[in-house]
Structure 1
Amino acid sequence: MAKNIKILLIVPPNSLEERYGKLKFVGTMYPSMGLAAIGAIAEASGYPVKIIDCEALNYTYEDLEQKIKFLKPDVIGIQTFCNTINRALEIGKRVKKNIDPDIKIVLGGVQATLFPEEYIKNPFVDFIVTGEGEIIFKNLLDALENKQTDFAKIAGLAWKKNNKPVINQLEKLIENLDALPFPARHLFDLTKYFPSAQLRGKKTFHIITSRGCPFICGFCSCHKTFGRSYRFMSTKRVVEEIKYLIKNYQIDGLHFYDDTLTVNKPRIIELCNKMVAEKINLPWACFTRVDCVDEEVLKKMAKAGCYQIFYGVEAGNQRMLDVMNKGITIEQIKKAFKWTKKYKIEALASFILGVPTETLDDTRQSLEFAKEIKADFAHWEIYTPHPGTNLYKIALENGQLLTTDLNKYSPWSDEPVYVAHGRTVEELKKTKEWVYRKFYMRPLFILKRLRNLLRLPPSRIFKLIHSGLVMTFSK
């Protein structure tokens, strides 16, 4: 049954340059699966839904205002991360002041979930949806549709009663992910999106098949947002969605965007077997941890089409791994990379530069370790201390914040927002450029990569070469 209130979901203004700095040409631009999931639930419940991704569309605040005036929504839901929360608040302010004060502003996402008590006090915010938003947002829409004014029974919601903040009890995590509809990708202009430059396939889409993380890395807030309980879709449901993407969007590449795809060994083996049995001949990539793979798993993954795994290595010595509470060992990293390469899967390694107590010598060890494990790609990001993470307090005790402007808190930015004791901003920036040069500008490495580059679409080959030149010769 069609409902009356109109919904608009928004990704706030941002840019690839702000997110990735000098590596903007190899960065990823994917549609928000969070908003796609919210949109799917709302549509299934009969609500008319639109999505505006300001980042993908390159919209300014002024562009967004004009679009909102044209669409005349009753409810606006805005996705928030640490570096976009202030932009979300700016949108709320502009809507209430310049367009219509009666439009309901709803915040969701990581940052709003971590600090609902703080952001619900904002005069331009009406509601905050915490944690997994599908059920909470749907319940809120139903209440608004029925013109209710008391929202005390909606678990997971922060709201205002007589202008005073109210934080309801938490909503239970969604256990049956199979019950959720496919993400509403059709609400996005899919021509505006693209995968990371090193991924294969001219039309690669991403998919999320699980939620929650049983690990508690110090720099990450995932376990606080989606819980430590690892929940996953059935392999039948995953294969159905992949087939749907092939049929409706003609994809020729897949990117599993789960935080850690291989947490549950029987499940990933079953998924790989089912993909082979169903003749899903797609090249695919994923993220996982080195302690969540073994030879049996990697052999199955390779047979099912996996060609690339992005491992969170983070550091090249045990002391720094322990500082970050990574929960892995140097030996586990070595074994995982050896096994991965044995089955001809590309192994990527990410490292974090400038973590509290890290020294320049630690950074050098990370560089040498990346070479030792023969990473096919290595990525270094300058540490950004995100409020709400376990490492945040340690960071403040062992260094100083250079700014409190959360707009600058992108984890991939070239400009540090934090400097640990014994380091300087200039040294961090130069060190990042130095490790990239030392890792990528090796003759044998270049020859090997040139051979593999031929498997990529021409546009991505250009992006990789361009970014390599920028990182090598920039000042």
Structure 2
Amino acid sequence: MSKANPNLLFINYPLLDKGLPTHNRTDRSISPNLAFGYLGTIADSLDCNVTIIDANFYLRPYNTDALITKILELKPDLIGFSVFINNALWGYEFLNLVKQVYNNCLFVAGGPHASILPEELLAHGFDICCRRESEKTIKELIGYLRGEIQLSDIKSINYYNENKEIINNADREIETNLDSIPIINYDLFDKLYFSPENVATTKFQVFTSRGCPNRCTYCNSYGVFGSGFRTRSVDNVLEELELIHKKYGVKKINFVDDYFVLNNKRVVEICEGMMKNNINLSWGCYSKAGAIGDDLFEIMKKSGCDHIGYGVENVYPKTLQLINKKTPLRKINEAYEKTNPTRIHYKTNIMAGFPWETVESLRTNIDFILAKKRKFEALFNPVVLYPVPSTKLYEDYVNDFPIIKDHWLNKDFMLENSDLSSQGRMKLNFFNLNKKVIKEIKFLFFCCKIPPLSTLTGFKFFILYPLNKFFYSYWGAKILELVYNTKQHLLEQLPKLLNFIKALTRLKSSAT
């Protein structure tokens, strides 16, 4: 294969026709895919013809048939997929459908799943898997398409040789100078991303660093980005922020670094640069609880910060120790005390469903959630633990709980549990937790939905505020849960009741 100006297509394959919960704007893609943006920008600079398609973009969605038709129209020489554990199965199905009608190209997989289980992706039909970061890899793959180098010359890839043997090329050195990676050419994305409709409501994603200094036992960041924590220079970050704000009209962003507020001095410089250059964005970030210095809140607020996500995950001492979270409860409490007066919105991740989970451990987290909702304007995002290959937690428990192994390849299993986080359901039970624990996890999810006391208005204010000390306690919340579940049950039964009344009315009419 040798072509001077190869056609490259990067796709997020469609989930809209797979029974997954992608039926509204919230569930679908709303912001450009940064990985494809970086790779596409490099390919474009090397005189390739680049197309980026997110089939799940809510303003221009593609179903399977429509995307295959588009592929036949474009005739790409390389199709790049980004594969995650929770959508890998749909990627394999889509790949198989494409190869039935078009096979005159390289099918290349990247993303977290390709970095962790490349042999699995090759077995399901991919030609090449790119491990970890791929900015240098894409340059060399283009060189391969042009006949300049061999696959054996390209680091950090897995592929089949001519004897159908899997070849694992050596790992590539991690790029320490992130400024050497070009700023994304956003012209490569669908123009509808920057339409007034989308820009008005969407927080666009921006990376200012890669990697994480922590090694939480449930997280696979190390498997994707390696052990080093690296940052872009302040000037490099400001250049991109000015570009997307002034050229593309972006109004809101979210710094999606694992740990944006690691270096307070650097954050101050970014905030000052935004104000100096009139980069008027509202923005959010993620931070370790207790990492933000007292003086930093003010300048973050002035520069447009309106949201902070705290990665607390859990407050039960045994769990914090076993997941290698080293932030003491004292620091977590201080973070709430310091953030609340700033009027910056903040949300805390709370994780449940660990192998050692008990009613007691969940009760500790529930009491924490309710106390914070009563005292502060605190929001919580509940998630159920998802065991990911290559993490310490997965490796420690996969032999004791066989359901963990390859669960992402079980279509019925994945469809059944695809709406777990957003709906607060607890169908997925990797670790054979007993019914009492499952019930308590559901209650924890409910408590996360109770509005903070300071935000109550109208009817809820008159009911809950006078007895807030009770309703924001464990047993008071239990009563609220009972009322809520009863209401939901009645609403579900109402159509049946109305149909019964209509049938009864028709029966009486016919009798007379």
Q: TM-score range by the shorter chain?
A: 0.7 to 0.9
Instruction: Write the deviation string for residues 116-143 of structure 1: whole angstroms up to 9, x where unpaired.
Output: 2332344x21111111011101211111
Partner of 1:333: 332
* 1:128 aligned counterpart, secondary structure: strand
**Structure 1 residue corresponding to 2:120, chosen from 118, 121, 133:** 118
The residue number in structure 1 matching 2:429 is: 418
Supply the distance in 2 between the matched residues of 1:133 and 1:472 (Cα, whole angstroms): 52
Match of residue 157 from structure 1: 157
Aligned residue number for residue 144 of structure 2:
143
Q: Please give the secondary structure, in 2, of the residue aligned with 1:326.
A: coil
Q: Is 2:70 the counterpart of 1:59?
A: no
Distance 1:103 1:472, change over 3 A: farther
2-structure distance, mates of 1:16, 1:272: 42
**CA distance in structure 1 between the aligned counterparts of 2:56 and 2:96, rounded to whole angstroms:** 19
Judged with a 3 Å threshold, the aligned counterparts in structure 2 of structure 1 residues 309 and 4 are, in CA distance, closer, same or farther, namely same
Distance 1:19 1:312 in 2: 27
* 8 A Cα contact 1:3 1:48, kept in partner: no
- In the other structure, the counterpart of 1:174 is 175
Inter-partner Cα distance in structure 2 for 1:471 and 1:23: 24
> Within the alignment, does 1:84 sit opposite 2:91 as a pair?
no
SS at structure 2 position matched to 1:119 = helix
- Verify the 8 A CA contact 2:350 2:380 in the aligned structure 1: yes
Q: In structure 1, how many angstroms separate the alpha carbons of the residues matched to 2:486 and 2:126?
A: 45
Task: Provide the secondary structure at the position in 2 that maps to 1:223.
Answer: helix
SS in 2 for 1:412: helix
Distance 1:157 1:311 in 2: 35
The aligned counterpart of 1:229 is 228
- In structure 1, how many angstroms separate the alpha carbons of the residues matched to 2:402 and 2:201? 44
The answer to whether the 8 A contact 1:298-1:343 is kept is yes
The separation in 1 between residues aligned to 2:28 and 2:127, in whole angstroms, is 34
Match of 2:100 in 1: 97
C-alpha deviation, 1:185, in angstroms: 3.2
| 1:196-207 alignment runs, 5 A limit | 202-207=201-206
Is 1:435 paired with 2:436?
no
**Aligned residue type for 1:338:** E
Aligned partner of 2:456 in structure 1 is 447
Instruction: Give distance in 1, aligned partners of 2:128 and 2:458.
Output: 49
Residues 1:26 and 1:371: Cα distance change in structure 2 (over 3 Å): farther
Task: Give the distance between the partners of 1:27 and 1:316, measured in 2 at CA.
Answer: 32
Question: Could you tell me whether the CA contact under 8 Å between 2:42 and 2:182 is conserved in 1?
Answer: yes
Aligned CA distance change for structure 1 residues 261 and 184 (closer, same or farther; 3 Å): same
- Separation in 2, partners of 1:16, 1:252: 32
Offset of residue 201 of structure 1: 5.5
Q: How many Å apart are 1:377 and its aligned residue?
A: 1.3
Largest Rg, 1 or 2: 2
Structure 2 distance, partners of 1:87, 1:29, is: 20
Name the SS of the counterpart of 2:307 in structure 1. strand
**Shift in Å, 1:432:** 5.2
Aligned length: 448
Alpha-carbon distance in structure 2 between the residues aligned to 1:91 and 1:276: 46
Q: Distance in 1 between matches of 2:228 and 2:14?
A: 32
- Structure 1 alignment gaps of length 5 or more: 451-468
Task: Determine helix, strand or coil for the equivalent of 1:418.
Answer: coil
Once the two structures are superposed, the pairs formed by residues 10-21 of structure 1 within 5 Å of their partners are 10-15=11-16
Q: Give secondary structure in 1 for the equivalent of 2:295.
A: helix
Question: Given residue 394 of structure 1, which amino acid in structure 2 is its aligned partner?
Answer: D
Distance 1:473 1:272, change over 3 A: farther
Give the superposition deviation at 1:300.
Answer: 2.9
User: What's the CA shift string for 1:328-350, capped at 9, x where partnerless?
Assistant: 22111111121122332222111
Give the Å deviation of 1:26.
7.4
The answer to which of 302-311 and 87-96 deviates more is: 87-96
Residues 282 and 107 of structure 1, relative CA distance in 2, 3 Å threshold: same
1:93 Cα offset (Å): 2.0
For 2:166 and 2:325, the matched residues in 1 are separated by: 36
TM-aligned CA deviation for residue 16 of structure 1: 11
Are the aligned partners of 2:212 and 2:222 in contact in 1 as well (CA < 8 Å)? Answer: yes
How do 1:351-370 residues align onto structure 2 when only pairs under 5 Å count? 351-370=350-369
Asked if 1 retains the 8 angstrom alpha-carbon contact of 2:377 and 2:455, the reply is no
Mapped to 2, the partners of 1:449 and 1:265 lie a distance apart of 40
- Deviations 1:27-57 (Å, cap 9, x if unpaired)? 8733211111111111111111111212224
Percent of pairs with identical residues: 26
Q: Deviations over 1:176-205 (max 9, x none)?
A: 2112222243333353699xx9xx963532
Structure 1 residues 437 and 117 mapped into 2: Cα distance closer, same or farther (>3 Å)?
A: closer
Does residue 70 (structure 1) correspond to residue 69 (structure 2)? The answer is no
Q: Who is 1:453 aligned against?
A: none
Alignment of 1:286-325 (within 5 A): 286-325=285-324
Structure 2: segments with no counterpart, 5+ residues: 460-482, 490-512
Q: Distance in 1 between matches of 2:36 and 2:359?
A: 40
Q: Provide Cα deviations, 1:347-406, integer angstroms capped at 9, x if missing partner.
A: 211111211211133223212212333352111112211112111133436656378234
Partners of 1:121 and 1:165 within 8 A in 2: no
Read off the aligned partner of 2:45 and give its amino acid letter. Answer: A
399 and 364 in structure 1: CA distance in 2 versus 1, 3 angstrom threshold: farther
Contact 2:155 2:169 in 1 (8 A): yes
2 CA distance for matches of 1:360 and 1:22? 35
Q: 1:20 to 1:362 in 2, by over 3 A?
A: farther
Q: Is the 8 A contact 1:109 1:131 kept in 2?
A: yes
In 2, the alpha carbon distance for the partners of 1:443 and 1:392 equals 35
CA RMSD of aligned residues (A): 3.3
> 1:258 aligned to 2:257?
yes
* Range with bigger deviation, 314-323 or 13-22: 13-22
What is the alpha-carbon distance in structure 1 between the residues aligned to residue 45 and residue 390 of structure 2?
33
Deviation at residue 73 of structure 1 after TM alignment: 0.7
**Counterpart Cα distance in 1 of 2:19 and 2:293:** 37
Deviation per residue, 1:406-437 (Å, 9 max, x gap): 4627673646433334334x963x54553344
Amino acid aligned to 2:380: A
Distance 1:187 1:21, change over 3 A: closer
What are the superposed Cα offsets for residues 112-170 of structure 1, whole Å, 9 maximum, x if unpaired?
01112332344x2111111101110121111111265x311111121222121111111
Structure 2 residue identity aligned to 1:37: Y
Q: Which residue of 2 aligns with 1:455?
A: none
